[in-house]
């Protein structure tokens, strides 16, 4: 069978679809990803792995499913349409009712079940297999990579035990389940053989890794085991809940040379009252003290965060507190979302909803503020020397590009290399930053 896989949403979905691709390929299928699907290749089946995080993501998932359903009905290509992931987990019956062209639908983490549906009896009517939400990786699964970039995401856990009042992820993913370290290390070894030079650790919250399974094994232990693998590669820590940044994590980042000095800590807000109503850490974690402690402990730390504007009850004073805090802390990287009203979450019932125009105005204000900060911080990097992992060639700029320890893939800027020579993607080069833009910088390679 010829099966196409479409990934929507986060990098954890990317990993899940690569697991599914490996399962299908091992069972005799030929697997195609998004770029190949768009060439018009004839497919026996297409799987859409959906996202249900916020309203925009849900709309994107539905639009993609409808587009493929129309194509299936009008052209017969693909012959079958399957849906998986978070939106399927939460709204299976609604999707089947509204999009009758769907042949099968499963929730999260059901790789073998979905493969069985695809390879099963195509004459039977639409099948829905929605188990209680849980993503539990209990055996090694070979990943067929969707893109052969020098970086890869290593999903060390999935699910969430936090109870943020704005978030529906626990309803879609279930409780946190850590992936056993022997499975992750086997996966990492295989990825290294395939040319990967950077592992980006992801989960809903990587800081709780191990707490659901073992008494005395935590993220810091896994990081040391990962760094002990032979080879020249980077390790990057993404998505650390602020309450989980403990001394053992700080220590291992400082001591292990393969771990880049970079932390992604989604804070969501800086006003204590808003944090309290979000059910985020507000008493046990003083954000300003945490940032000060991190910057003192980890030389050259790059700190990334995300914020939410327009949460119910966010007064002009609370927003001012957020804005002033951003200007004071000067995060190296910052993303911002407008609050999205999600069904079956406590925040959706709040009486003091913030109007859409106000949310949008505050969102633009944060974006503009961070752009100014980013431009200033990038300009201050001129003259600095750094190591760059080359990722590819930008045809429009006619420059090779890559990332230093200060740039995470897909969410941060790039380093463009001012050179006329050829550089192989996946190569580390030393470079000196020579010019700065708002989010990107330009650097000259240093000849050895």
Within 10 Å of residue 41's Cβ, how many Cβ atoms? 13
Encode pLDDT of 127-146 as tens digits: 777 778 888 898 999 999 99
The backbone region for 94, taken as left when phi is positive above 0, alpha when psi lies in -120 to 50, beta otherwise, is alpha
Helices (H), 159-218: 169-173, 181-193
Cis peptide before 78 (omega within 30 of 0): yes
- Output the six-digit token pair for 303: 């700190």
Encode pLDDT of 92-120 as tens digits: 888 989 999 999 999 899 999 999 999 98
What is the mean pLDDT of the segment spanning 413-420? 90
Cα 41 from Cα 29, distance rounded (Å): 15
Split at pLDDT 50, 70, 90, the class of 124 is: low
Domains of the chain plus CATH, in order, are: 2-129 (3.40.50.12160), 151-380 (3.80.30.20), 385-445 (2.40.50.140)
| pLDDT for the residue 448 | 63
Gap between the terminal Cα atoms of the chain:
50
Within 10 Å of residue 214's Cβ, how many Cβ atoms? 13
| Cβ atoms of residues 176 and 219 within 8 Å | no
| % of the chain exceeding 90 in pLDDT | 78
| Cβ atoms of residues 296 and 306 within 8 Å | no
pTM of the model: 0.93
- Interstrand relation of 198-202 and 151-155 (parallel, antiparallel or unpaired): parallel
| pLDDT for the residue 128 | 72
Q: Report helix, strand or coil for 326.
A: helix
φ/ψ of 65, rounded to 5, equals -65, -45
Split at pLDDT 50, 70, 90, the class of 126 is: low
Per the DSSP assignment, residues forming a β-bridge with 7 are 49
- Output the six-digit token pair for 261: 């000095």
Closest CA to 92 of 39, 136, 132: 132
What is the mean pLDDT of the segment spanning 186-212? 96
Split at pLDDT 50, 70, 90, the class of 121 is: low
What is the mean pLDDT of the segment spanning 307-331? 96
Encode pLDDT of 306-317 as tens digits: 999 999 999 999
DSSP 383-445: T-EEEEEEEEEETTTTEEEEE-TT--TTTS--EEE--SS---TT-EEEEEEEEE-SS-EEEEE
Encode pLDDT of 246-290 as tens digits: 999 999 999 999 999 999 999 999 999 999 999 998 777 789 999
Per-residue pLDDT at 402 exceeds 90: yes
Encode pLDDT of 18-68 as tens digits: 999 999 999 999 999 988 887 778 999 999 999 887 778 888 999 999 999
Q: Where are the beta strands (DSSP E) in 97-137?
A: 104-106, 127-129
φ/ψ of 226, rounded to 5, equals -65, -45
Q: Report helix, strand or coil for 333.
A: strand
| Cβ atoms of residues 118 and 82 within 8 Å | yes
Cα 108 from Cα 101, distance rounded (Å): 21
Cα 246 from Cα 265, distance rounded (Å): 12
| pLDDT for the residue 35 | 81
φ/ψ of 295, rounded to 5, equals -70, -30
Averaged pLDDT score across all residues of the chain: 92
| pLDDT for the residue 282 | 79
Per-residue pLDDT at 240 exceeds 60: yes
Say how far residue 355 (Cα) sits from the centre of its chain: 28
The backbone region for 111, taken as left when phi is positive above 0, alpha when psi lies in -120 to 50, beta otherwise, is alpha
């Amino acid at each position: 069978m010829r099966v196409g896989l479409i990934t929507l949403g986060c990098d954890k979905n990317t990993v899940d679809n690569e697991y599914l691709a490996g399962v299908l390929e091992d069972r005799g299928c030929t697997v195609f990803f998004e770029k190949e699907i768009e060439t018009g290749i004839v497919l026996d089946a297409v799987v859409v792995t959906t996202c249900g995080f916020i309203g925009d993501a849900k709309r994107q998932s539905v639009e993609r499913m409808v587009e493929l359903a129309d194509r299936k009905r009008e052209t017969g290509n693909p012959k079958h349409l399957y849906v998986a992931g978070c939106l399927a987990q939460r709204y299976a019956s609604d999707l089947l009712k509204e999009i009758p062209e769907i042949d099968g639908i499963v929730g999260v983490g059901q790789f073998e079940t979905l493969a069985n549906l695809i390879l099963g009896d195509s004459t039977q009517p639409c099948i829905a297999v929605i188990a209680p939400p849980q993503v539990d990786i209990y055996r090694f699964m070979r990943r067929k990579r969707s893109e052969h970039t020098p970086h890869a995401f290593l999903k060390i856990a999935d699910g969430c035990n936090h109870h943020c009042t704005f978030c529906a992820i626990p309803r879609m993913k279930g409780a946190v389940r850590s992936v056993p370290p022997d499975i992750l290390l086997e996966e990492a070894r295989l990825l290294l053989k395939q040319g990967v030079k950077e592992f980006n650790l992801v989960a809903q919250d990587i800081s709780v890794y191990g707490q659901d399974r073992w008494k005395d094994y935590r993220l810091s232990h896994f990081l040391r085991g990962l760094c002990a693998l032979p080879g020249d590669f980077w390790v990057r820590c993404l998505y650390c809940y602020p309450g989980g940044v403990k001394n053992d994590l700080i220590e291992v980042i400082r001591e292990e040379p393969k771990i880049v000095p970079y932390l992604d800590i989604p804070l969501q807000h800086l006003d204590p009252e808003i944090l309290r109503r979000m059910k985020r850490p507000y008493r046990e974690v003083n954000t300003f003290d945490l940032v000060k402690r991190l910057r003192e402990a980890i030389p050259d730390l790059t700190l990334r965060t995300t914020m939410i504007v327009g949460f119910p009850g966010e007064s002009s004073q609370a927003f001012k507190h957020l804005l002033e805090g951003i200007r004071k802390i000067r995060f190296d990287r910052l993303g911002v979302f407008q609050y999205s009203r999600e069904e079956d979450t406590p925040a959706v019932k709040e009486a003091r909803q913030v109007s859409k125009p106000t949310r949008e105005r505050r969102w633009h204000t944060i974006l503009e503020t961070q752009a100014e900060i980013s431009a200033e911080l990038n300009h201050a990097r001129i003259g600095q020397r750094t190591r760059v992992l080359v990722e590819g060639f930008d045809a429009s700029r006619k420059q090779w590009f890559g990332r230093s320890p200060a740039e995470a893939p897909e969410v941060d800027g790039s380093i463009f290399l001012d050179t006329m020579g050829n550089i192989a993607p996946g190569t580390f080069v030393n470079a000196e930053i020579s010019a700065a833009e708002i989010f990107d910088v330009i650097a000259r390679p240093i000849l050895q």
